[in-house]
C-alpha cells in the first residue's frame, strides 16, 4: 500500500501563490524517490486548474476541498464533481472538521458527498475526528463509529480500496500545535481499522488511514511509522514548499 502525504491548503493562496509554491515543490521533489508514495495537494477551488497544470511530478495529484453532491443545478456557490474533474483534479476531501464545525455539515451530508463523489469518479479522503469535549466524556469510539457508519453507508460497489481513504483528525489537534500523542493516534487508528472491517469487510485492510493535526517536519517520521498509520494530512506545515517537501521525504 502506498503511503499518502496530503496537503490541505484550506483558504490560503491565490492562483499566483499556488503557481509559486508548486513550482518550488516541483524542484524540491525532483530527487525524492516517490514510487512508494502518493502526494495529494488540496488547494482552494480557484487554484485547482492552475495547480493541475503546473504540477509536473507523476506522483503528485490535485484534489478539491469540498463538493456539492449533484451533477449540476441551481445551487448557488457550489461546485460539482464534474467541474472538479474538468479542472484536472482527481481527489476530494469530505467531512473536514472545519466544514463540520464552522459550516455545520452533518454526518448525513458528509455521507451524501462521499458517495456522490466516488460514484462520479473522484477519489475521496473522508475526514473524521472527535472534539476535546467528546474525548473527555469518553465518547471517542461512539463518535468515530457514528461518523464512519454514516459516511460509508451505501458506498458504490464494486469500489477499489485505493479510491477511498479515511483521515483521522482530532479536532483539538488541528491548527493548535497540539499533536495527539503516539498512544492517542494508535488507539484511534486501531478503532478505525476495526470499524472499517465491520463496514467494508476484507478491503478494510487495504483502506488507508491518514493522521492529521499539527503534523510538522519534526514529527512526521515518527507518526508515519506507527501501526495503522498509512499517511498524513497536513494543514499549516504544507503551505511552504520546503516544509512540505521535508514531510514528504520523512
Ligand atoms: P494543521 O496541520 O494546521 O493542524 O491542520 C490539519 C488539518 O486540518 C488538515 O486537514
Determine the residue of 5, 8, 167, 168 to mutate for testing ligand 1's pocket, defined as the one with the most ligand atoms within 8 A of the Cβ atom.
8
233 confidence band (pLDDT: 50, 70, 90)? very high
At 235 the pLDDT is 98
Q: How many helices (H) and strands (E) does the chain have?
A: 10, 8
Ligand 1 in reach of 214 Cβ (< 6 A): yes
| DSSP assignments along 66-91, one per residue | ---SSSSSS-TT---HHHHHHTT--E
At 36 the pLDDT is 94
194 confidence band (pLDDT: 50, 70, 90)? very high
State the DSSP code for 163.
Answer: G
The answer to pTM > 0.85 is yes
Secondary structure element (H or E) that encloses residue 221, with its range: helix 217-224
The ligand 1 atom at the shortest distance from the C-alpha of residue 96 is: 10
63 confidence band (pLDDT: 50, 70, 90)? very high
Ligand 1 in reach of 179 Cβ (< 6 A): no
CA 21 to ligand 1 centroid distance, Å: 18
Using the Cα atoms of residue 231, residue 233, residue 234 and residue 240 in order, give the sign of their dihedral.
positive
Amino acid at each position: 500500500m502506498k503511503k499518502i502525504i496530503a496537503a490541505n491548503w484550506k483558504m490560503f493562496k491565490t492562483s499566483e501563490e499556488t503557481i509559486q509554491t508548486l513550482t518550488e515543490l516541483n524542484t524540491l521533489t525532483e530527487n525524492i524517490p516517490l514510487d512508494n508514495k502518493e502526494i495529494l495537494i488540496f488547494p482552494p477551488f480557484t487554484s485547482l486548474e492552475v495547480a493541475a497544470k503546473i504540477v509536473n511530478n507523476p506522483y503528485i495529484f490535485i484534489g478539491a476541498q469540498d463538493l456539492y453532491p449533484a451533477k449540476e443545478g441551481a445551487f448557488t456557490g457550489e461546485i460539482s464533481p464534474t467541474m472538479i474533474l474538468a479542472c484536472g483534479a482527481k481527489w476530494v476531501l469530505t467531512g473536514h472538521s472545519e466544514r463540520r464545525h464552522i459550516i455545520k455539515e452533518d454526518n448525513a451530508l458528509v455521507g451524501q458527498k462521499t458517495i456522490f463523489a466516488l460514484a462520479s469518479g473522484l477519489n475521496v479522503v473522508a475526514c473524521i475526528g472527535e472534539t476535546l469535549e467528546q474525548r473527555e466524556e469518553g465518547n471517542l469510539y461512539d463518535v468515530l463509529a457514528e461518523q464512519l457508519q454514516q459516511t460509508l453507508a451505501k458506498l458504490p460497489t464494486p469500489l477499489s480500496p485505493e479510491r477511498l481513504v479515511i483521515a483521522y483528525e482530532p479536532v483539538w489537534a488541528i491548527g493548535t500545535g497540539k499533536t495527539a500523542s503516539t498512544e492517542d493516534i494508535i488507539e484511534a487508528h486501531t478503532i478505525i481499522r476495526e470499524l472499517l472491517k465491520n463496514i467494508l469487510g476484507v478491503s478494510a485492510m487495504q483502506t488507508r488511514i491518514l493522521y492529521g493535526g499539527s503534523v510538522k517536519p519534526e514529527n512526521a517520521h515518527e507518526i508515519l511509522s506507527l501501526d495503522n498509520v498509512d499517511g498524513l494530512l497536513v494543514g499549516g506545515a504544507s503551505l511552504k514548499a520546503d516544509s512540505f517537501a521535508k514531510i514528504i521525504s520523512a
